[in-house]
Amino acid sequence: MRLHEYQAKALLAAWGIATPRGVVVRSPDEAAAAAAGLGGTECVVKAQIHAGARGQAGGVRVVPHAQAPEVARALLGTRLVTRQTPPGGLPVDVVLLEAPVAAVRELYLACTLDRRGGTRVLLASGAGGMGIEEGAAPQAWPIDTVRGFSAYEGRALAKAIGLNGRAVAAFGELTARLVDLALDKDALLVEINPVLVTADGELIAGDAKMEIDDNALFRQPTIEALRDSRQGDPRDEEARMRGVQYIALEGDIGCLVNGAGLAMATMDLIAAAGGRPANFLDVGGGTTAQKVAEALDVIAGDRRVKAVLVNIFGGIVRCDLIAEGLLVAARRFERRLPIVVRLVGTRAQEGRLALASGGLEGDVTDSLEEAAQLAVRRARAS
């Protein structure tokens, strides 16, 4: 789960990490009042979406206070397209106004996961801001998640990226607090880019990103409450509400499978047969007829889907119960949608008989390779 910049900065501030003075606005009138309250003569107007590269797309602008309402009006209610968004962009419902920070240097800092090493890691670079991806590789510092991360280690990291003077101590405190925040909130990523260094050595979070582990949200209710469902794919959001593991893709063959490994193998076979999967969908090893029906509803809601491949291995689950769910969902389809079903395992024969007697419009087989080939042919014929 991703957070908006203003939400991430609120958490940073709660952990004692300095952020620019800012106000969240949802209308041009609010922007006028907010700009006047920030002091100075200029403000930074920042569109809030779950993607980076906003500045390069016109989503971040430094303007005189008098122009803040006009810029907010131009952003609010639109869809901002950046190189990190889907082709249609993401909706701008909120704008953040901030007081500019006079910085003499920009750094990069992030706490993230090292999946290869099986631990968290701090990434730091003496150069931050836009274009960080094209810059030098950051320094990586492993984190002992049991012992935590000390300001002493942070100071050593500061020297490694070329800091000196008061900024070294400030960086040590910043890194220690950043790691504490990431551990406390089950964050997969906490990124500050840029870290703004002022003339007196103060460090300020110029921008912030946070991604929280979805599997840990049950113990993060205050984070869950910050979810902005409009920033995600509507199909993903519907699947999440139904408790289905779903990822939308770009093909036209819907996939409904029980088990992540089996789902990946199914997608591979579709590709080998010359087709393109429309989604990854795992209903789980111990799925129910109700969940299968809901998963099919999600797939059928994607207008690009021309055929559906259902691949169920009945280990824990009974195939005849799965057949019931398939029939229930198929009767609700608003359009003709060919279904190819591969049922193998516990009570598979009874499941196939139930599908036949229930009048399912589709093909039933016990061969996965044949099922993939059939699904591709049905999609091409639709």
| Ranges of each domain in the chain | 21-98, 105-224, 233-381
CA pair distance 236, 19, nearest whole angstrom: 32
- Give pLDDT, residue 132: 66
- Give pLDDT, residue 289: 77
Decide if 338 contacts 361 (C-beta within 8 A).
yes
Q: E-assigned strands of 263-334?
A: 279-282, 307-314
CATH superfamily of the 21-98 domain: ATP-grasp fold, A domain (3.30.1490.20)
The CATH code of the domain at 105-224 is 3.30.470.20
CA pair distance 116, 300, nearest whole angstrom: 37
Say whether 191 is catalytic: yes
CA pair distance 154, 169, nearest whole angstrom: 8
CA pair distance 263, 310, nearest whole angstrom: 10
Decide if 360 contacts 331 (C-beta within 8 A).
no
The two structure tokens encoding residue 98: 């901030």
The secondary element (H helix, E strand) that includes residue 106 is: strand 105-114
Point out the catalytic residue in the list 30, 106, 153, 191.
191
Spatial CA neighbour of 319 closest among 344, 291, 285, 339: 344
Point out the catalytic residue in the list 5, 98, 106, 108.
108
Spatial CA neighbour of 24 closest among 79, 75, 58: 75
Q: Identical fold at 105-224 and 233-381? A: no
- Give pLDDT, residue 379: 94
Say whether 108 is catalytic: yes
Q: Along the chain (382 residues), what's the average pLDDT of each consecutive run of 10 residues?
A: 97 97 96 92 96 92 96 96 92 97 95 89 87 71 86 92 92 96 96 95 96 93 92 76 80 91 94 95 77 85 92 85 85 82 89 85 88 95 84
Q: 233-381, which class in CATH?
A: alpha beta
The DSSP symbol for 258 reads: S
The secondary element (H helix, E strand) that includes residue 271 is: helix 260-272
